[in-house]
Amino acid sequence: MAPRVRSARLHPVPVRAAHRSRIRNPPCLCRPFALPASARVLGGDQRLRRRGAWDSFLPPTGDLLRPRHARFRTYARNCRRFERVRHCRRRAGVPCQRRLHAARALSRDGASLAPIRSRTPAMGPAPPLAQRAVGAFVRGPAVNVAFLGATKGIGRALARELVLRGHRLFLLGRDPNELERSARDLEIHGGAGPVAHVHCDLLDPATFAPALDAASNHLGSLEVVVVTAGQFATQEELEANPELLHRLLTVNFTNTVLFCEAARVRLLARGGGTLCVFSSVAGERGRKPVVLYGATKAGLTRYLEGLDHRYYNQGLRVVTVKPGFVRTSMTIGLKPPPFAADPEHVAKIAADAIERGRPVVYAPFVWALVMGIIRWLPRAIMRRVQF
């Protein structure tokens, strides 16, 4: 509450004690008729009494015991609430400095100023509401986005979010059936026109350049490139299957870096752009459950950080999204931690980061606090814990 800026003023009526402490039947010694007739002064009498010492015969209530006028039967403070008067010329509407009687609150006779209906409204069904086609809500200028990995999980949720914000998408992926379904889904949700797609496989670097060129030719220009594609496997599965380990290392780090390099060249050729890549909090520090998977994300994070430092002044904006545990098809069967998130929540955070050009964002933000603590834990503690 703001402090008082001026001293309180007295209400322009006789001051009396609190309403609860008023004495209903004062003692007889306090009544005027208990005093001599020569000591009585009637209410309203303006004559001065003769000089001498006289005892006060006012009751403890602080007022003469005479019937009050009907206009002043009760004290206004006891029956009306304080109301602000902001249009007052002399006194500003500040806290604890309000009028007892709100100006123009009631009419002169005390009746409400609310309008009275002259007739009863007609009965029957209400007329139909006028509706119009609603397009995508655009928060800022629409941009052209080449999206790799929009067919599942976080990628599909982020693609929907970008389409709903009015951006134009071109999908890249390896499964033509999944690409077709995702494109139709985005057309239904966004309604901004057909969504095209082309084949692009992270296991085949030869498909990177043709896919990016096709996206640029179809959209007219390439302003944003988003990469959410990747692979996940548990530590036990990777240790037991060398082939799976080789594929995960290739997809999550080597070929993702090659794809980002191809996108960087094209974005810088047009004067700059935004490159958004999904990493993970697993790469913040080496931990027992995600030794191999976390190593790929740690290397990817360092690459993106260096890319931002080297090409920021040339107009390249690198956005690194670090989600925590997300409930997707990749994490089915795993015990979710307390801060597990849904793909839609992560998608909104990532979309905001793309539009604002934030270099690093955690999704949700609580993981920034958690990983900040983990980074400072001593090595002796990290050897004992199981997270």
Which sequence positions are flagged as catalytic? 293
Per the CB < 8 A criterion, the answer to whether 276 and 226 are in contact is: yes
Per the CB < 8 A criterion, the answer to whether 224 and 274 are in contact is: yes
Q: How far apart are the first and last CA of the chain?
A: 46
- Neighbouring CB atoms inside 10 A of 290's CB total 22
Angle of helix 291-311 versus helix 255-269 axis, rounded to 10: 20
Q: Could you tell me the two tokens for 147?
A: 């999206």
Q: Could you tell me the two tokens for 308?
A: 């931002």
Based on the number of CB atoms within 10 Å of its own CB, is 99 exposed (0-12), middle (13-18) or buried (19 or more)? middle
Identity of residue 132: R
Per-state percent for the chain, helix, strand, coil, to nearest 5: 40, 10, 50
Among residues 164, 151, 331, which one has the least CA distance to residue 228? 151
Tell me the C-alpha distance between 208 and 200, whole Å: 6
Q: Could you tell me the two tokens for 205?
A: 């670097």
Per the CB < 8 A criterion, the answer to whether 198 and 191 are in contact is: no
> Long-range CB contacts (< 8 A, 24+ apart) of 77-85?
77/11, 78/19
Tell me the C-alpha distance between 193 and 187, whole Å: 6
Instruction: Output b/e per residue, 121-142; b: 16+ Cβ within 10 A.
Output: eeeeeeeeeeeeeeebeeeeee
184 CB-near residues (< 8 Å, 6+ apart): 195
- Residues facing 322 on adjacent strands: 362
**Residue written as tokens 């067919």?**
151
